[in-house]
Chains A and B, each alone.
Chain A
Amino acid sequence: MSTKQDDELAQERLVELAAEFYDQFAAGEVPHMDIPTRTKSNIVFDEESKVWVYGDRTSTRSANSVRGARKLLKAAYAIEFLVNQLEESRSSTLRELYYLSESWDNEEAQFNSQDESNQLIEDLEIVSKVTREDFHMRPEESGATLMGPLELREQTRRGEREIHCQKDVGEGGYQIPNNPDTIDFLDHDIDFVLCVETGGMRDRLVENGFDEEYNCLVVHLKGQPARATRRITKRLHDELSLPVVVFTDGDPWSYRIYGSVAYGSIKSAHLSEYLATPEARFVGIQPEDIVEYDLPTDPLADSDVNALESELEDPRFQTDYWTEQIELQLDLEKKAEQQALASRGLDFVTDTYLPERLSTMGVL
């Protein structure tokens, strides 16, 4: 759990934000807050931290319009809620906040959708420079897991637990908590961290004993990885100096999964420094693997083509490697799933594909 100091800081920042609105009112100004524009066109590469962060463009949430005024009213209610929650040392999920707003006395302040409340929490994170974990707001458990030779200590609500992520866990592995900063790494025998997109592939690797054979920590991303998953990956890399590789399907959506692990996501670029692992490398499935291993494929849908083209313009993918791969895929007009490797036998991925790829990459 977060420290008392963090809670106080978060509370202080929230009250400061409220005071800012208050002062704007008192001065006869229109209350407003400026927030970096959260779009692809407003992220820039930060040379120092090697991650993508927001650029200079800002959007204004202002009471000048009825819509803007409603947003700020909701912000005021949310601030009060968060301050009280911190005071009482409780926590809640984003979804709970959405439903909780229903109980507020003012209908105008209630959220219309969870997207709206999520977005507001992100806004508050950005302007107060406090993460939502420090607001004690958590997402639903994403269910992402770890499996591999790692021993750690987790501070749970029911006391400290020491867990070995191979020996003390079942087939499912160790479930990553919402705030991975409550974990201390005790000991490990890991050579590298392998992030896997799909559950099927993760299970295949575990069943084939890949983690044991190669001293590898298998992180199950479960699709687009949650913040906690990205955070723990970053900590594994930074604190234990472990190489990180990402293994996904061979389609544009999966490249974005890699992108958010390595470069940070557009929606949370304000936290890139805290979440992104710029050194993470992409294993596959690469478009060139489709050719090389003659994998069974699906044709690209129109939406896939659009997504690929949009990635060509995405500042995060402006590297020779990605340009080459994406253009190749546009030529091939094909995509392949991780499980497509099974067409060469169930052991092909652990016996041939991964060892070959990882050797080429110099990880093995």
Chain B
Amino acid sequence: MTSIQSTLGEDDGGGIAEELAEGQRAISIAEFFEKNKHMLGFDSGARGLVTAVKEAVDNALDATEEAGIKPDISIEIRESGDYYTLIVEDNGPGITREQIPKVFGKLLYGSRFHAREQSRGQQGIGISAAVLYSQLTSGKPAKITSRTQRSERAQYFELIIDTDTNEPEIQVEEERAPGESELSPTHGTRIEMEMEANMRARQQLHDYVKHTAVVNPHARLVLDEPGLDEPRRYERVEGASLPAETEEIRPHPHGVELGTLLKMLTATESYSVSGFLQEEFTRVGSKTADKVLNNFRDRHFGREMGWSVPRSADVDVESAVEDAVANKGAAATATFAERVADALESRERTTHADVTEIVDTVAEDVEDEFETTFGQTVRENAVEAGWDALRTDLVSDLYALVDDATSTRKDDATISGIAERLADKFRDGDPRHRATRDTVRDYVDRSAEFVVSEDVSFGDTARENVVEALWGAMRTVPDDPPKVRAVADDRDVASELLEAMRETDILAPPTNCLSPITAELVEAGLKKEFDADFYAAASRDAEVHGGDPFVVEAGIAYGGELEDGTVDLLRFANRVPLVYQRGACATTDVVKQIGWRNYGLDQPGGSGMPNGPAVVMIHVASTNVPFTSESKDAIANIPAIEDEIELAIREAARDLKSYLNKRRSMQKRRKKQDVLGTILPEMADKLSEVTGRPRPNIDGALARIMNNVSVERDVDGDSVTLVVENHSDRAETPEITDIVSAEPGDLPDGVSVVDLDDEWFISWEPSIPAGETAELTYTVSGDAEFDVDVDGIETEKLTINA
């Protein structure tokens, strides 16, 4: 290519470029996707149908929820000759006449793209891409009917997308009365698309609808397709409310990039950086803004190193300050000098800024007391004198810092050497001894380089420790940070601000922009669609990635009717099931790397998808879910999100583990009880044969062996006693119902009797500590019959002999 270009170029000046330019023109987005259908999930007829269903249903759910309506969505797939017709209908708020063509007939048209708020759709591509796909394959327009809540009549459109302009081309537009319209609910939207398709991806389609039902327990879905005897219905969980309404949020300081920050700085109306931070970001109040500003100062100005007043006799701060002050009267000067000297001497460490502040304070006090004025020059001189005194012996202070920061193995000569070199660096550097962290590191490196020889080492850790100690001893300067305008104009300064923002601990973003399903409803959703023995769910707290908060939820269903084999993984993003590209998804990667054996599931080789009759579901909700592609099939491997996915799964898996452990221990217990239940009676029989006595009652012994709760009845004439012995290692509260065929009397307080058709139900709920016994005695006449029923204790742990 290059070679042709150059040859042509030699022949004929710039003519080729002009020639080429004739063929160069803008490409409409619609045209682009026409050629790149796979990027949106329309790569084949089978998949195209699933994707179209998915886009239409996602839209329907978003629309109904936003209007606060519990979604009722029907999906119908019809065979029509060589084509399939897809009809999706919702009970949403409807779309106004003006909007309908744009929503369905223009790619990248939507309300979501700019909002930091959780929603299913984000880019505004999905449904119009489906329309585009249908028109490209069948040549037929999409038919849309919509009726808004207040309107009497429905709007009917037939439209296609003009791929050259990415604009809707309306072919039919009518207003229809409810009778004429095919839309069944009183309000909502119906879309009908005819497309080249096939039902080879039936399983994926069913999965998509079923999984949608799992994460949208508040929705009712109906699916009808060729080959079904009757439509599949997915009912809503009773009492499941609509997802909490979400709110748009401002960006979070941890999540912006430099370009965005610069854009925001240019656009803001704030004057100060503090105002900018509080105005434009979420979770930034004045305190947090101050913290950010201090970090910003440290980066922008550096910190100041402070020193102590040397203890040696030749440093006399008082006289130095006194000498620096002229013409202020002896008494005032003396008092001023004394107070400044006292203040400096009493401090462990004083920076240049501190000296300035001290001098100012003392000067003002003395001015009041002596009614004289300490002007700017005098104060500056005094500061200079004080600062000079502080600077006389840097080495001792530095020696103490370096000595503290290094291990005891460093000898004295090394430490003094470092301290002396460092003192030189400070002296040669900024007069106020200001330095950024990088500068300090440079000081330390250069000093260490100087000292290091064959016998003396001063490695990276030691250097880092010294830097840390020096930086810790230095103080943030009080200078005003640059204004917004200045920051916006200087990329380097803006980058300092960004670093300061990222460094500061800031509360995670508010989560009202997200609507997690909640652990409770995740469990309810799983229960609704999977017939299992055990369900667990976990919903994590919100975290932030790239300024977008996200929440990860996980659920596990186990046992029951679930099929054994590789565990089924259900993936969701913003309540939308992800059906394709499972292998490319972060959720899959996380599930595979968890050691499931720890949680009681089989995992060949200790990694990879676990085996067992289980379903694992993961839901990632975010204002901006990072997908690997526009077709939104797989979540990208973002470490922060992967970490949360792992934690959520582990949380749910811990419950699974304790369930499985308990189940195993119950199985073991049942087995033990079964074996002992045969051995001990046989032993008792033998013993009664040998001793010639009647067969002994072994229930007590058995209950004790099994650490069970035993319930026994003693009947002595008219007096009946129920004895409950708790042989387990914790307190138990059995709910005992004794059903008696005659009316019982003399019951103690707290025990109730109900008469039902000549049967008396005595309910007694004793609370029995481990190893103790409870008794209930009552009277009943004559030959009453008894039947006891015990609840609240696993049957495996119960021995009843009553």
Q: Which residues of A contact B (CB under 8 A)?
A: 14-15, 18-19, 21-22, 24-31, 63-64, 66, 69-70, 72-73, 76-77, 79-80, 83, 106, 108-109
How many A-B residue pairs lie within 8 Å, measured between CB atoms? 83
Q: Is the beta-carbon distance between B686 and A63 smaller than 8 angstroms?
A: no
B682's partner among A18, A83, A109 (CB-CB below 8 A) is: A109
CB <8 Å contact, A72 and B683: yes
Contact (Cβ within 8 A) B701 A18: no
**Quick check: B690 and A15 within 8 Å, CB to CB?**
yes
Residues on the B chain within 8 Å of A72, using CB: 683
**Nearest B residue to A14 by beta-carbon distance?**
B690
A22, B704: Cβ atoms closer than 8 Å: no
A25 contacts B675, C-beta separation under 8 Å: no
Q: Check if B682 sits within 8 Å of A73, measured CB to CB.
A: yes
Specify which of B682, B691, B703, B705 is in contact with A22 (CB 8 Å cutoff). B691
* B705 with A25: CB separation less than 8 A: no
Tell yes or no: B684 within 8 A of A by CB.
Answer: yes
B690 in contact with A83 (CB, 8 Å): yes
Q: How far is the CA of A321 from the CA of B68 in the complex (A)?
A: 99
Please report the C-alpha to C-alpha distance between residue A108 and residue B682 in the assembled complex, in whole angstroms.
9
User: Looking at the complex, which one of B678, B682, B701 makes contact with A25 (CB distance below 8 Å)?
Assistant: B701
Of residues 696 to 716 in B, which have CB atoms within 8 Å of A's CB atoms? 696-701, 703-705
B693 interface contact, C-beta 8 A = yes
Scan residues 390-405 of chain B and give those whose CB is less than 8 A from a CB of chain A: none
Does B679 have its Cβ within 8 Å of any Cβ on chain A? yes
Q: How far is the CA of A30 from the CA of B701 in the complex (A)?
A: 5
In the complex, A69 Cα to B701 Cα: how many Å?
A: 11
Binary contact readout B117-143 vs A (1 if CB under 8 angstroms, 0 otherwise): 000000000000000000000000000
Point out the residues of chain B lying under 8 angstroms from A30, CB to CB. Answer: 701, 704-705
B690 in contact with A73 (CB, 8 Å) = no
Decide yes or no whether B449 CB sits under 8 A from chain A.
no
- Nearest 9 CB-CB pairings of A with B: A28-B700, A76-B686, A25-B696, A18-B690, A26-B696, A73-B683, A22-B687, A69-B679, A76-B683
Between A and B, 24 residue pairs with Cβ closer than 8 Å are: A18-B687, A18-B691, A22-B684, A22-B688, A25-B698, A25-B700, A28-B701, A29-B701, A29-B704, A30-B705, A63-B676, A64-B705, A66-B675, A66-B676, A66-B679, A69-B679, A69-B680, A70-B679, A72-B683, A73-B679, A76-B683, A76-B687, A80-B686, A83-B690
B705 touches A80 (CB 8 A): no
A64 to B686, CA, bound (A): 19
How long is the Cα–Cα vector from A351 to B687 in the complex, in angstroms?
Answer: 62
Report whether A79 and B698 are in contact in the complex, using a CB–CB cutoff of 8 Å: no
Residue of B nearest to A80 (CB): B690
| Assembly CA distance A109 to B686 (angstroms) | 11
B672 contacts chain A at the CB level, 8 A cutoff: yes
Given A19-B691, A22-B696, A69-B676, A28-B704 contact (CB < 8 Å):
yes
Chain A residues whose C-beta falls within 8 Å of the C-beta of B703 in the assembled complex = 28
Q: B interface, by DSSP: helix, strand, loop or mixed?
A: helix
- The smallest C-beta distance from B802 to any residue of chain A, in angstroms, reads 15
Contacts of A28 in B (CB 8 A): 699-701, 703-704
Contacts of B701 in A (CB 8 A): 24-25, 28-31, 63
**Pairwise interchain contact A77-B704, C-beta atoms closer than 8 A:** no
Report if B424 contacts A (CB, 8 A): no
Residue of B nearest to A25 (CB): B696
- Contacting A at CB under 8 A, from B655-698, are 672, 675-676, 678-680, 682-684, 686-691, 693, 696-698
Give the Cβ gap from B760 to chain A, nearest Cβ, in Å.
29
Q: Which of A63, A80, A83 has the most CB of B within 10 A?
A: A63
Distance to closest chain B CB from A145 (angstroms): 39
Name the A residues within 8 Å of B690 (CB-CB).
14-15, 18, 76, 79-80, 83
Residue picked from A30, A70, A79, most chain B C-beta under 10 Å: A30
- Grouping DSSP codes into helix (H, G, I), strand (E, B) and loop, the A interface class, with mixed when no group exceeds half, is helix
Residues of A within 8 A of B680 (CB): 25, 63, 69, 73
Q: Which residues of B contact A80 (CB under 8 A)?
A: 686, 689-690
> What residues of chain A lie closer than 8 Å to B686, measured between beta carbons?
18, 73, 76-77, 79-80
Task: Kindly supply a per-residue 1/0 record for chain B positions 153-172, scoring 1 wherever the CB is within 8 Å of any chain A CB and 0 otherwise.
Answer: 00000000000000000000
Q: Which of A63, A73, A77 contacts B705 (CB 8 A)?
A: A63
Q: Shortest Cβ distance from A88 into chain B, in angstroms? A: 15
Interface size on B, residues (CB 8 A): 25
Q: Which of B698, B704, B705 has the most CB of A within 10 A?
A: B705
In the assembled complex, the Cα of A199 lies from the Cα of B319 at a distance in Å of 114
Residues of A within 8 A of B705 (CB): 30, 63-64, 69
* B700 CB, nearest partner CB in chain A, Å: 3
Not counting A22-B696, A69-B679, a sample of 10 additional A-B residue pairs whose C-beta atoms are within 8 angstroms of each other reads: A22-B684, A22-B693, A28-B704, A30-B705, A63-B676, A69-B676, A73-B679, A79-B690, A80-B686, A108-B682
Q: CA of A76 to CA of B689 in the docked complex: distance in angstroms?
A: 10
CB-CB nearest in chain B for A18? B690
CA distance A19 to B692 in the complex (A): 9
CB-based contact A69/B696 at 8 Å = no
Query: With A and B bound together, what is the CA distance between A30 and B696 in angstroms?
Result: 13
In the assembled complex, the Cα of A22 lies from the Cα of B688 at a distance in Å of 7
Instruction: Please report the C-alpha to C-alpha distance between residue A61 and residue B400 in the assembled complex, in whole angstroms.
Output: 71
Q: Whose C-beta in chain A lies nearest to the C-beta of B712?
A: A28
Provide the residues of chain B in CB contact with A70, threshold 8 Å.
679
Give chain A residues whose Cβ lies under 8 Å from the Cβ of B675: 66, 69
| Distance in angstroms between the alpha carbons of A26 and B694 in the assembled complex | 11
Write the nearest CB–CB distance from B800 to chain A, whole angstroms: 15
Give A231 to B565 CA distance when docked, in angstroms: 67
CB within 8 Å for A108 and B687 given contacts A24-B701, A29-B704, A63-B705: no
A66 to B678, CA, bound (A): 11
In the bound complex, residues from chain B placing their C-beta under 8 Å from that of A76 are: 683, 686-687, 690
| Bound CA–CA A108/B683 (angstroms) | 10
Q: Determine the distance from Cα of A76 to Cα of B687 in the docked complex, in whole angstroms.
A: 6
Docked CA distance A76–B693 (Å): 14
By a CB distance below 8 angstroms, the chain B residues around A69 are 675-676, 679-680, 683, 705
Cβ distance B690 to chain A, nearest Cβ, rounded Å:
4
Are B704 and A108 closer than 8 Å at their CB atoms? no
Closest to B689 in A: A80
Q: Tell me the smallest distance from the CB of A69 to a CB of chain B, in Å.
A: 5
Q: Is the Cβ of B676 less than 8 Å from the Cβ of A25?
A: no
A21 touches B704 (CB 8 A): no
CB pair B704 A25 closer than 8 Å: no
Q: Would you give the shortest CB distance from A113 to chain B, in whole angstroms?
A: 19
Q: A18-B687, A79-B690 are in contact. Are A26 and B697 (CB under 8 A)?
A: yes
Residue of B whose beta carbon sits closest to that of A73: B683
Quote the shortest CB–CB distance from B713 to chain A (angstroms). 14
Contacts of A25 in B (CB 8 A): 680, 684, 687, 696-698, 700-701
**Central interface residue in B683, B698, B701, by most chain A CB within 10 Å:** B683
CB distance from A239 to the nearest CB of B (A): 37
Given contacts A66-B672, A109-B682, contact A15 B696 (CB under 8 A): no
Closest approach, in angstroms, between the C-beta of A109 and any C-beta of chain B? 7
Task: Find the A residue at minimum CB distance from B693.
Answer: A22
Please give the distance in Å from B105's CB to the nearest CB on chain A.
75
Nearest A residue to B703 via CB reads: A28
A15–B691 contact, CB under 8 A? yes
